[in-house]
Structure 1
Amino acid sequence: MGSGNAIRGSRVGAGPMGEAERGDAAPRVWVTFYCANRHETRPSFATDVAVPDQWDCPRCGFPAGQDKHNPPAPPKTEPYKTHLAYVKERRSDEDGQAILDEALARLRAKRAAVRAALEAATKG
C-alpha cells in the first residue's frame, strides 16, 4: 500500500513539460582533454565562450591538455617535512650546536642545584 505521496518519484524543479518548459539549451561544443595518466575527459562548453587551455582531470586531479601526445606535467609536490627539517633550514650546524651546548649547561646547572638541595635536606 502506498503512502499517498503525490510527488513520489519526482525531483524538485521537474515540471510536466521537461526541457520544452525550460527553453532551448545553448549550443555546445565537446572538447577532449588528456592528462599525464592517459585519462581522457570530454567536458562540454557553450560555443560562445573561450575553451580553457587546461582542465582538471576528474579521475586523478592532474591538469589535462588538448594535446594527446604531450599532456601537461603533473604538479610537483613537496614531500612532508618534519619540524626538525624546518629548523635545519633556518639554522646552521654551528648554531644548532651552540644552542644545544647552552641548553645542556642550563640542565646540568639545574640538576646540580637540585642535588645540592637534596643533600642539604638529608644532612639537616
Structure 2
Amino acid sequence: MASGSAIRGSRVGAGPMGEAERGDSAPRVWVSFWCANGHETRPSFSEEAGIDIPETWDCPRCGFPAGQDRENPPAPARNEPYKTHLAYVKERRSDEDGAAILDEALAALRARRGG
C-alpha cells in the first residue's frame, strides 16, 4: 500500500551535492580536556567567532570536570548528601523549640476538639 509521500526516505538538506551545496564550513580549532579519570574530550570551537575557550569542560563519559592540563585535572565536585525535610528543620530549630511548637499545636488541636 503506497503512502503517497513523494520524498519518502530523504531528509531536509539532502542532495547530490552534499557539502559543496551548503558552502565551506567555518575553520575550527580542537582543544583537549582531561578529567580526573584520565578521559580525553576534544570539543571544537570556531576560530573566527572570537569565543573564549572555557577553562573547564564536563567529561561526557563520567561527568567530572575536565581541564586543559593533563597532569593536573580539576578535582571532582563534592556532592552534598540528600537532606530530608526533617534535617532542614533540625538545622533551624533546637529540640526545645520543636517541643514548644508541638505542645502549642497539640493544645490548639485539643481546644478545637473540645477536650
| TM-score tier after normalising by the smaller chain length | 0.7 to 0.9
What CA distance in whole angstroms lies between the structure 2 residues aligned with 1:83 and 1:14?
A: 54
Which structure is higher in RCO with an 8 Å CA cutoff and minimum separation 6? 2
CA shift at 1:18, angstroms? 0.7
Aligned counterpart for 1:65 among listed residues 60, 67, 70: 67
CA shift at 1:91, angstroms? 0.6
Query: Match of 1:12, as an amino acid?
Result: V
What CA distance in whole angstroms lies between the structure 1 residues aligned with 2:12 and 2:97?
A: 66
Task: Considering fraction of residues, name the structure with more helix.
Answer: 1
| Structure 2: segments with no counterpart, 5+ residues | none
What CA distance in whole angstroms lies between the structure 2 residues aligned with 1:103 and 1:4?
A: 71
3-state SS of 1:59 partner: coil
TM-score, normalised by the number of residues in structure 1:
0.71
Structure whose alpha-carbon radius of gyration is higher: 1
What CA distance in whole angstroms lies between the structure 1 residues aligned with 2:20 and 2:61?
A: 33
| Structure 1: segments with no counterpart, 5+ residues | 114-124
CA shift at 1:82, angstroms? 0.9
Match of 1:92 in 2: 94
Alignment of 1:1-124 (within 5 A): 7-48=7-48, 49-104=51-106, 113=115
What CA distance in whole angstroms lies between the structure 1 residues aligned with 2:114 and 2:32?
A: 74
Equivalences, count: 113
Which stretch has the larger CA shift, 43-52 or 85-94?
43-52
CA shift at 1:87, angstroms? 0.8
